[in-house]
Amino acid sequence: MTHSKTKTLVVDATDQAAGNGLMSRRFFINSALATGATLASGAPAIAQDAIVGEGQEDWTLYPGDDLPLYGDVSQFEKGRVQRFVAPPTGGRTASSSGRTPHHLLQGTITPSGLHFEVTHHGIPDIDPAKHKVVIHGMVKQPLKWDIEALENYPTVTRKYFMECSGNSRVCWAEKPDQNFMYMTHGLVSGSEWTGIPLSTLLDEVGVSPDAKWIIAEGGDSGSLSRSIPIDKALDDTIIAIYQNGERIRPSQGYPMRLLNPGFEGNTSVKWLRSLYVTDKPVMSRFETSKYTDKLYDGKALQFSLEMDVKSMITRPSSAISLKKKGLYEITGLAWSGRGKIAKVEVSADGGKTWAEAAIEGPVYDKMLTRFRIPWMWDGSPAILQSRATDEAGRLQPTREELLAARGKDAFYHYHAIHSWSVNAKGAIRHVYA
C-alpha cells in the first residue's frame, strides 16, 4: 500500500534545473511534496489503529545492555562498514592501503577508524613515553619534544581533507574499475585535527634565513621521509596530536604526525620523529621512485604537492541500485588542495547539461565539502557526474582533458570527472563517459 499523495508525478517545469530530472536545489524543501512527486522511499501508509502492537521485538520488552566505557558501532554495521584493505604484495616491507567506504558514509567528518591509510612498512605500535620529535639542521638551537611537552603549546583546531596522490589511480586504466568507491575514491578522508602550528616550534629553534626545505622523517621502520618547502612549513603546517577530538590513532600516526593541509597525503609524515631544516630537498625514495608524475616527453614532475580540485558522487553510486522511479537525493563530496570549494555542478545526462548543487556550509579551506541535489529518476538510463570549481576558479577536468594533458604514463593525481551510469533497471556502474 502506498500513500495516496504519491500516485502521480506532477512536477512543475520551473523546478527543473538541468536535463534528465535534475531539480532545483530547493525543490525538496519548497515543492516536492506539494507537487505530489513520488518519493523513492515509498513510505508505506498505515492505519491509525494499526500502530499499537507493532514492533514488539525483544528490545522493546526487556532492559537493554550496560553502558560501555567506549561505545562501539552496532553489530549490524560491523563487517558492512569497514575499510577495504589491500595487503602488501611484496612482503611486510612493501606498501599496503586501507580505503574509506564513502558510499556508506555521510557528512564530511570521516570516522577516525575509517580514515584511509597507506603505509609502506606497516603500522608501528609506538609508546608515547619513548617517542620524541626533534627539530635540527639549519637552526640556532636544536630542540626535542614529547607529546606531553607539545600539549602545553598553543594549539589550533582545523578541519582538513587528506588525499593520497594515488587516489583514483585505477581510473587511468583503459577499463573502468568496478570495485565500488573503495578503489576509485577510497584514499581521501576528512577530519578535525588539533595540533601545534609548526611555525611556533620553528620560531623557538630559530631557523636560519638560508633554510629552504624541511626533511620530515617518520619513526616507523622505513623512516619514510619527505621534503617540505619552508614556506609551507611556516604557513599552515601543524604537528597534529588529536584527530576528531581524541589522540590520533596508530594508523594515522600516533602519537604525532605532520599535517600539510592540501598537500598529497604522504608528505603529512606519520609517527613524526625528525624535522631536519636544510637548503635542499633530501631526494628520498618517496619523492624520486614514487610520487612523481611522468609526462609525455619522458620527463617527470617532482614535488607536485598540492592536490587538485576534485569531486565524487557518493550516493547514488555503484554499491546502491535504484529500486523504483521517483525522487532521490544525489550527494557527494568536493575538495581542493588550493582553497575552498566555490561551486559543485551535477549532470544526469553525461555532461550535456549541468545544475548547481546545494553546498552545506560553512565551507572550509582545504576540507571536504558536502553537496546535494534532488533528482527525479523517470526510469530511463542516466549518467550521473559531478564537477567542482574551487575559489581560485579551477574547474575539475573531464577524463578526456586530463588524459590529453597527463595520461600516457600517469599514475598519480587523477582528478577528472567521475561517471556513474544508471540503466533502466536502476543498476549503477562506473563508466568512462
Site for a copy of itself in 52-71 (CB under 8 A): 54-55, 57, 59-71
Alpha-carbon distance of 300 to 295, in angstroms, equals 5
Separation between Cα atoms, residue 224 and residue 120, nearest integer Å = 8
Q: How far is Cα 347 from Cα 156, in angstroms, rounded to an integer?
A: 38
Cell numbers representing residue 145 in the block? 619534544
By CB under 8 A, the residues from 223 to 242 that bind a copy of itself are: 223, 241-242
Given candidates 209, 362, 393, 424, which one binds a copy of itself under the rule CB under 8 A?
Answer: 362
Q: Report, in Å, the least distance between residue 409 CB and a copy of itself.
A: 28
Using the minimum distance from each CB to a copy of itself, give the nearer residue, 372 or 399.
Answer: 372
Q: How many alpha carbons fall within 13 Å on the CB side of residue 271?
A: 22
Residue 209 DSSP class: T
Residue type, 61: L
| Residues in 277-316 at the binding interface with a copy of itself, rule: CB under 8 A | 315
Q: How far is the CB of 248 from a copy of itself (least distance, A)?
A: 8
Tell which one of 11, 17, 18, 40 touches a copy of itself (CB under 8 A).
40
Q: How many residues bind a copy of itself, per CB under 8 A? A: 134
Among the listed residues 169, 232, 310, 370, the single contact to a copy of itself using CB under 8 A: 370
* Tally of residues, the chain: 433
Residue 227 near residue 282 (C-beta atoms within 8 A): yes
Site for a copy of itself in 93-152 (CB under 8 A): 93, 96-98, 104-115, 117, 119, 121-128, 130-132, 134, 136-137, 141-145, 149-152
How would you classify the pairing of strands 272-278 and 133-137? parallel
Which listed range, 33-41, 296-304, 341-349, 398-406, lies at the site for a copy of itself (CB under 8 A)?
A: 33-41
CB of 98 to a copy of itself, least distance (A): 4
Site string for a copy of itself, 320-359 (x = CB under 8 A): ------xxxx-x----------------------------
Please pick, from the candidates 8, 12, 42, 178, the single residue that binds a copy of itself as defined by CB under 8 A: 42
For residues 73 and 301, which CB has a smaller minimum distance to a copy of itself in the complex?
A: 73
Residue 419: Cβ within 10 Å count: 21
In this complex, which beta carbon is closest to a copy of itself, that of residue 83 or of residue 232?
A: 83
End-to-end CA gap in the chain: 39
Retrieve residue 91's grid coordinates: 612482503
Distances (CA, A) of 53 to 2, 56, 63, 162, 331: 21, 6, 18, 49, 37
Smaller CB separation from a copy of itself, 82 or 398? 82
Instruction: State the nearest-atom distance from the C-beta of 1 to a copy of itself, in Å.
Output: 10
∠ CA 78-84-90, rounded to 5°: 135
Q: Using an 8 Å Cβ cutoff, are 146 and 129 in contact? A: yes
Please name which of 251, 219, 259 lies closest in space to residue 112, comparing C-alpha atoms. 251
DSSP state of 264: B
Residue nearer to a copy of itself on the CB measure, 92 or 352? 92
CB of 97 to a copy of itself, least distance (A): 7
Q: Give ∠ CA 191-197-201 in degrees, rounded to 5.
A: 145
String of contacts with a copy of itself for each residue 383-422, x by CB under 8 A: ----------------------------------------
